[in-house]
Structure 1
Amino acid sequence: MVMLLAGGTVATLLSRLYYNSGGNSKWMTTLTQSGGSPLLAIPLLLTPPSPPSEDQERRPAASKLLVAVYVGIGVLIAVDNLMYAYALQFLPVSTFSLVAATQLAFNAVTSRLINAQRFTPLIANSVVVLTFAAALLGVGASSDGTSSSSTAPRGRYAAGFVLTLGAAAAFALILSLYELTFEKVVRARTPRWVIRTQMYTNLVASAVAVAGLLASGEWRTLPGEMASFRNGRARYVVTLAGTAASWQAALLGQVRLVARVSSLFANATGAVQLPLVPVFAVVLFGERMTGIKAVAMLMAVWGFLSYVYQHYLDGRRVAAAAGKAGGECCVCAARTASDAVSHAP
């Protein structure tokens, strides 16, 4: 959870710093969101393998199916990253981060359709509140100075808002597909399989980003972009490298939560960083913290707490039924119980 919150906050801020310091390549920004995937080889090598008994009980699907899944999810990740790259240039980072919270609402739909997620009044409340929080930002475009004082015209603000919504929907689908992959294809939720799945899908996304960078011709502008980058070439490289590493740390934490609990819980946990990004954006980039953003942040926090409380209630009920009260955390108890039911003969 710490990796998700810290990595997501740092990655979003560094991505905005790239644009603020003179960066302009959408495909380079797209690449940084998945290009750090080779770094996952380090934790993969350091993670001990699963006991032989577990590997025999749950053998993954055929290699061809795994490859097809990795390629499909990887291409979708690349498209999602490209939409985020455009959106982050068009929107202030505080507005971007709050509009992106709608991925939880989209994830509620995909989780219901793909993962058979159970809905309760508390979960529905979480989805509705987060959706209204993003809508509040959409109608309050002029309040953060974007429409008039910002260099981005109103048309670009609207495009950024729509692209962020599209990227949020795509990311929600990706998380649900990750959960489906662990359940039906990989048939395991061990740390090594989590790292493998994230690494291979992000390698595919990186290949798509590199192809887009070459095909678009943006690679020709990179030397000039590096030379004109504020505070020099070294900061350019450090910014991109830090962004790539931060995204992978955040995604590793999020995919791990998908495997341990559910895609919807992982998405809700990611919403905790919402109050952090706007605050840092105000301090680092001089963005205005308007009343609309403050209300949207409070609504986002309320939506997240509503979802967490539902998991707390589910965990207590499962633990009481299984006679394990106090034996494990509520979300892990819920996952253990659901796994036991799904794999019962």
Structure 2
Amino acid sequence: MEIEQKSHEDILHASNSNTVMESLRTPKMKRLIMLSLNILLLLIGGTGSPLILRVYFLHGGDRKWFSGFLQTAGFPFLLFPMLFSFLRRRRTSSGGLFLLTPPLFLYCAILGLITGIDDYLYSYGLSFLPVSTASLLISMQLGFTAIFAFFIVKQKFNSFTVNAVVLLTFGAVVLGVHANGDRPDGESKAKYYLGFVLTLAAAVIYAIVLPLVELLYKHAKQEVTYALVIEMQFVIGLFATVVCAIGMVVNKDFQAISREGKHYGLGEVEYYLVVFFTTIIAQFCLVGLVGTIKYSSALLSGVILAVCIPITEVLAVFFFHEKFDGEKGVALALSLWGTSSYFYGEYKEHKKSKVIAKESQLLPLSFVSNTDCNVDAGVAPCGSVDVSRVEGVRVSELWCGEIGPRVRPRD
């Protein structure tokens, strides 16, 4: 009799564990797929954007506000996924035309204004620097992102993350100390260092923007879906483009576009192709950034941008025949070392979370179902959810039901 009872309890326990795992598997897989997609977009945009923007400057392009304008002018392309999302919502509910609330719209508008200024600084700096130097300077953005993420969104660090930040920062310092040696032919020393300072300033400003986007997600007071993320990026891109458009009006860039195209080194048709693809590739980068932050963190988006640097370095040497001296080699090695350190630390954290998840499976389903947790207002109570604390350890991402909202324990 005891054997039958024990067998029945084992079967019930196995069924409970399977129910918990089935409820978690689908949202986790969807999350992983969306994160991978956005990382891919970020890799394409982060690698291709500085290359094609450099093509613009190398063959006769000289409009800084216009080149900054191109980095966000592709935002109208987001109307297609926004329209698809709206039509999908109309079939399932009576939702409005937009998901953005007025406070979110205002917050995104402010981020857009900051992004527009940052685009101008980056374009101005890149016009005086080789792609490889500019890219390695941007790698310093990771260090600043880590610092600002610590203060703005309370980002937690381990020894591997700190090591990555230090190595990437030191690599940029090594590059700056010996920067004069790769100054392009015919360019003054003053302009080269001006480009150096402006590119570094652009990295610092955008390092502030990334944690601010993550902070926006945390305090949105509504479910942050990917459709909402796209709308946010649309507003950010709109206002960033308006900032650069105002600069173009003041600088009379609109009148100069046709003249610049006629005298472009590669030809007039090629000029407009460079302009078009600059907007597309830059939009890949921006959408990938906000998406990566949504499904992970601002710090990971900074790391992915750092991963783009070795690819950009190699392609710049191949396409533009830029120098690759010893200082750049040291900076690149430090960049790769720092990036590897970060991902190894993430791998260790992932293994620890898997052990915690396995331990949580040993708990009875009744305990899991009755876990004291907070759920967003208007959402049904928790069903089969993962346990948020096992022996005092917090699990970072929890889900309610199969497609429910994120759940956090009540402290």
Same fold (TM over 0.5): yes
* Change beyond 3 A, Cα 1:117–1:39: same
Question: Is 1:202 matched with 2:202?
Answer: no
2:181 alignment partner in structure 1: 143
Question: Is 1:340 matched with 2:407?
Answer: yes
1:278 alignment partner in structure 2: 313
The correspondence for 1:21, drawn from 59, 73, 76, is 59
Amino acid at match of 1:75: L
2:211 alignment partner in structure 1: 176
How far apart, in 1, do the equivalents of 2:341 and 2:224 lie?
Answer: 26
* Change beyond 3 A, Cα 1:231–1:298: same
* Change beyond 3 A, Cα 1:51–1:103: farther
2:201 alignment partner in structure 1: 166
1:6 alignment partner in structure 2: 44
2:345 alignment partner in structure 1: 310
Question: How many angstroms does 1:189 deviate by?
Answer: 3.5
* Change beyond 3 A, Cα 1:324–1:186: farther
Q: Do the aligned partners of 2:56 and 2:274 also contact (CA within 8 Å) in 1?
A: yes
Please report the TM-score for the alignment, with normalisation by the length of structure 1: 0.89
The correspondence for 1:220, drawn from 255, 264, 275, is 255
1:252 alignment partner in structure 2: 287
Question: How many angstroms does 1:290 deviate by?
Answer: 1.0
1:237 alignment partner in structure 2: 272
How far apart, in 2, do the equivalents of 1:295 and 1:172 lie?
Answer: 23
Q: Do the aligned partners of 2:356 and 2:395 also contact (CA within 8 Å) in 1?
A: no
Structure having the higher Rg: 2
Question: How many angstroms does 1:25 deviate by?
Answer: 0.4
Question: Is 1:287 matched with 2:354?
Answer: no
Question: How many angstroms does 1:218 deviate by?
Answer: 2.4
Q: Do the aligned partners of 2:63 and 2:253 also contact (CA within 8 Å) in 1?
A: yes
Q: Do the aligned partners of 1:31 and 1:210 also contact (CA within 8 Å) in 2?
A: yes
List gaps (5 residues or longer) in structure 1: 326-332
Question: Is 1:71 matched with 2:138?
Answer: no
1:80 alignment partner in structure 2: 118
1:227-286 CA-partner distances (Å, limit 9, x unpaired): 100132211111011011001111211211100110001110121111111111111111
Amino acid at match of 1:283: F
Query: What secondary structure sits across from 1:95 in the alignment?
Result: helix
Query: What secondary structure sits across from 2:407 in the alignment?
Result: helix
How far apart, in 2, do the equivalents of 1:175 and 1:239 lie?
Answer: 27
How far apart, in 1, do the equivalents of 2:129 and 2:188 lie?
Answer: 10
List gaps (5 residues or longer) in structure 2: 1-38, 361-393, 400-405
Please report the TM-score for the alignment, with normalisation by the length of structure 2: 0.75
Q: Do the aligned partners of 1:133 and 1:296 also contact (CA within 8 Å) in 2?
A: yes
1:80-112 CA-partner distances (Å, limit 9, x unpaired): 101101110111111000110011001011100
Question: How many angstroms does 1:223 deviate by?
Answer: 2.2
1:163-199 CA-partner distances (Å, limit 9, x unpaired): 1111111111111111111110264342211211111
1:118 alignment partner in structure 2: 156
